[in-house]
Structure 1
Amino acid sequence: MKPNEHIARFGTVDGELQIGGLPLSRVAARVGSTPFFAYDRGLLDERVNLLRSALPERVELSFAMKANPMPAIVQHLAGRLDRIDVASGLEMQTALDTTIRVDRVSFAGPGKTPAEIRQAVAAGILIEVESGTEFRRVLAAGDQLGLTPNVAVRVNPDFAVKGSGMRMGGGPQQFGIDAEQVPAVLREYGTAGANVLGFHVFAGSQNLNAAIIAEAQRRTVDLVSSLAEHLADPLRYLNLGGGFGIPYVDKDRPLDLDVVAANLHELVDGPIAERMPQASPVIELGRYLVGECGVYVTRVLDRKVSRGKTFLVVDGGMHHQLAASGNFGQAIRRNYPVAVGTRAERASAEAVTVVGCLCTPLDLLADDVDLPTSDIDDLIVIFQAGAYGLTASPTAFLGHPAPAEVLI
């Protein structure tokens, strides 16, 4: 998608990009300093409404908090979605501080500490066990607390999802219990004092290919259907994962949600209803829910020309928005959509490179991009910044202040 398409999605006011209906300069004045992350509440609601209208009514929507654990966003989504998934003790506490019911919170991820497990058991949270060791720790916590833990088994499937930005299933994985080992694990622990509700299969993330996502969902339903035969009680929790991607660079094309939705309707009305009638199908999304509602805003501190190349030096950088910089040079770097927020309606007039304030050439936010002519104090906007931005970046690197976050 082109930057102009992102500008159109947010809209403009008085020639500036708008966030939540306010001109960007007013948002910056309210925040009081740059850089900052701003999230548009209206766009967030639009995405939730889009999913609700497209997906089967029976499908429950879960927010993977790891994508953006800002408390205001979590609070906002808690009143609009069916579930929240957490991956740490701090995220668990953030979820418990919302109005969502505790039995609608799930806790996934390898390496849960015994203290976190006890906290989850005490709260009544659904724990998605990733190993036999975790299962034993959950049972021990239940014994110590005099409670029956709620458990789902996270399964490492025997298939991989092609086209995912990050593969999280198939082959050897730190995530989940290998599918072929699940029956033995259930025989050993499944009736030992836990309420085993079902399974979670998450095969990959950031996928823009609807056909591949649909195939993964079909294979997941077949796999879980066979594993459900080893449960002591009927399967009630069927987490199909998510993996819905968003476009980050020019060549990316948005996910065709209609194709994914049509496949889910067939699965819900067909094999799920026939083989697992008591199951609640869950789609767990993070990036797809919040990624496109957010921008990273940083101010031009200096404009300089070095041997014919124009640089805009800004007060932000990779310590806040690591992914846009190329993840410390570990990936092939491509420009995220970028705009001059204070000149959003002006035509591009020059090629510039936007760099941050850190002492490394890796601190690169946009390389050789066409933008309107910009100067000191203009606000540069990086789009697609609502997911895996601030909390997925090395904020302590070089000791610069943390940016603000606002939901408007």
Structure 2
Amino acid sequence: MPMSQNFKDRLFPVLDKITQHFGTPFHIYDETGIRQTGEMLKKNFSNIKGFREYYAVKALPNPRILEIMKSMGFGFDCSSVTELILSRRIGAAGEDIMFTSNNTSHFEFLTAEKDGGCILNLDDISLIPKVPNMPELICFRYNPGPGVSGNEIIGNPEEAKYGVSDTQIIDAYRKAMAAGAKRFGLHTMIVSNERNYTYKVKTTKMLLELAEKISDALGIKFEFINFGGGLGIPYKPEDSPLNLEALGTEVTKLFDNFKSKHGYVPSLYMESGRYMTGPHGVLVVKAINRKDIYRKYIGVDACMTALMRPGIYGAYHHIDVLGKDMSGKTEVVDVAGSLCENNDKFAIQRELPEIKDGDTLIIHDTGAHGHAMGFNYNGKLRPQELLLRTDGSVELIRRAETADDYFATLNFKADKILF
């Protein structure tokens, strides 16, 4: 959501000094806000024994951020070899890691079982014989198909490439058991950035009913269900936030009912990424150019390689101008970068305070899927990342890319094959 007043009160008074020291552009993340969200998450699901958040590494894959998550007792949801390595480097091991990938290669399976292994979450029944060594604990990602509707971001489950189908799910566990699996989890994810908490309540009910069905068929018990991520944040000022308290209350009731009926209950896992860090990061840029043609354009010193969501998705990110507000002179502008793409815009026809060259702009909600989705088209280089610590200090947690980084993959030993 547009950054909290608390984050503003701590950042804005020192932002000039930060930009003078580090230069722009940069993403800066708020440790205090991240920790507050993590504690709120734990509090609202505290009555479910074994509840655990597995932070979605793809949202913000920075070691310093992952260290914060680990200190709160969270695990890590990984979907690539690099994310596995990153999580292990900050001390995560074994069941601290859930590896959820699709179209998984042999090399990825081998990496997943190294260094104490992980919770293997298989995306397809056809992957069972491809697992080099079936672990004792196995999980499957469930795709409910046309019986359940997703949301506008993920779309209809039957059109998604993810997961084991409803007609395959029991057989998937049966085959895993035959291959040596003895402990079981169940996973799904059918919404993304969803602020209507009832979607997740329905998802939880669906998973518990499916666990019951599989248990009856195969005589197994589930150690956990994982309802995925997808908890949404309000990017626009007028958007309502997710009612986390109501979600926790209603999901807990479902778990209590399951225990009353069966005498045991699985743990609840989730893999929130955006919800954990999205509102607690901003992209700070400088206005460097003004162009008045058919529209008014404010050119800044970053482009969509630092934040692709507005250009690719048409996503809204709130913008503040340091030291100015809407009570003064305003104008309608497009805020644009320097990439050779016309969709390289952080805002389109947005009313903002009048901006002059040298003004500092703060682009909100970049703490998830911001730097992580960066790219190098046009030879553009991704910016630095900073962390506003709870003690008020500001730490560089990733330097800006350099031209040497860009050309590094061109330094290789000559190799060719003749025919």
TM-score relative to the length of structure 2: 0.85
CA contact (8 A) 1:335 1:367 kept: no
Q: Kindly report the root-mean-square deviation, in angstroms, between the aligned alpha carbons of the 2 structures.
A: 2.3
Give CA deviations for 1:131-155 in whole Å, capped at 9, x if unaligned.
13322122x235xxxxx45321111
Compute the displacement of 1:344 (Å): 5.0
Residue identity matched to 1:338: I
Aligned to 1:343: 323
Alignment partners' CA distance in 2, 1:276 and 1:353 = 59
Aligned to 2:216: 229
Alignment partners' CA distance in 2, 1:272 and 1:29 = 58
Aligned to 1:407: 387
Q: Secondary structure at the match of 1:66?
A: helix
CA contact (8 A) 1:96 1:102 kept: no
Aligned to 1:279: 266
* Residues 1:379 and 2:376 are matched in the alignment: no
Residue identity matched to 2:73: L
CA contact (8 A) 1:163 1:209 kept: no
Residue identity matched to 2:103: G
Pairs within 5 Å for 1:33-72: 33-57=23-47, 58=49, 59-72=51-64
Alignment partners' CA distance in 1, 2:369 and 2:71 = 22
Aligned to 2:110: 118
CA contact (8 A) 2:319 2:364 kept: yes
Give CA deviations for 1:365-396 in whole Å, capped at 9, x if unaligned.
11222222222122211111111112223x21
CA contact (8 A) 2:290 2:297 kept: yes
Aligned counterpart in structure 2 of residue 311 of structure 1, from 283, 289, 297 = 297
Compute the displacement of 1:101 (Å): 3.8
Aligned to 2:165: 178
* Residues 1:24 and 2:15 are matched in the alignment: yes
Residue range with higher mean Cα deviation, 356-365 or 368-377? 368-377
Change (3 A) 1:182 1:260: same
Aligned to 1:324: 310
Change (3 A) 1:382 1:160: farther
Change (3 A) 1:7 1:355: farther
Alignment partners' CA distance in 2, 1:348 and 1:247 = 26
- Could you list the runs of 4 or more consecutive aligned residues of structure 1 that deviate by over 6 angstroms after TM superposition? none
CA contact (8 A) 1:348 1:371 kept: no
* Residues 1:354 and 2:340 are matched in the alignment: no
Give CA deviations for 1:95-148 in whole Å, capped at 9, x if unaligned.
11123342221100202211111111123211101113322122x235xxxxx4
Compute the displacement of 1:278 (Å): 5.1
CA contact (8 A) 1:244 1:287 kept: yes
Alignment partners' CA distance in 2, 1:67 and 1:50 = 19
Aligned to 1:194: 181
Alignment partners' CA distance in 1, 2:263 and 2:191 = 24
Aligned counterpart in structure 2 of residue 154 of structure 1, from 107, 119, 141 = 141
Residue range with higher mean Cα deviation, 174-183 or 185-194? 185-194
Residue identity matched to 1:55: F
Change (3 A) 1:338 1:120: same
CA contact (8 A) 1:225 1:276 kept: no
How many pairs are equivalent? Answer: 383
CA contact (8 A) 1:109 1:175 kept: no
Compute the displacement of 1:230 (Å): 4.2
CA contact (8 A) 1:347 1:371 kept: no
* Residues 1:391 and 2:379 are matched in the alignment: no
Aligned to 1:105: 97
Alignment partners' CA distance in 2, 1:283 and 1:273 = 23
CA contact (8 A) 1:348 1:370 kept: no
Alignment partners' CA distance in 1, 2:352 and 2:129 = 57
Change (3 A) 1:95 1:163: same
Aligned to 1:242: 229
TM-score relative to the length of structure 1: 0.87
Aligned to 1:364: 345
Alignment partners' CA distance in 1, 2:209 and 2:380 = 50
Change (3 A) 1:296 1:150: same
Compute the displacement of 1:24 (Å): 1.6
CA contact (8 A) 1:164 1:243 kept: no
Q: Secondary structure at the match of 2:213?
A: helix
Change (3 A) 1:173 1:162: closer
Alignment partners' CA distance in 1, 2:315 and 2:268 = 36
Aligned to 1:12: 9
**Unmatched tracts of structure 2, length 5 or more:** 389-419
Residue identity matched to 1:160: V
Alignment partners' CA distance in 2, 1:401 and 1:387 = 19
Compute the displacement of 1:172 (Å): 4.3
* Residues 1:84 and 2:65 are matched in the alignment: no
Residue identity matched to 1:388: H
**Unmatched tracts of structure 1, length 5 or more:** 143-147
Give CA deviations for 1:158-194 in whole Å, capped at 9, x if unaligned.
4334435224x73243211112211122223323223
Alignment partners' CA distance in 2, 1:273 and 1:96 = 38
Residue identity matched to 2:37: R
Give CA deviations for 1:11-32 in whole Å, capped at 9, x if unaligned.
236xxx53xxx622222234x2
Alignment partners' CA distance in 2, 1:263 and 1:398 = 49
Residue range with higher mean Cα deviation, 284-293 or 233-242? 233-242
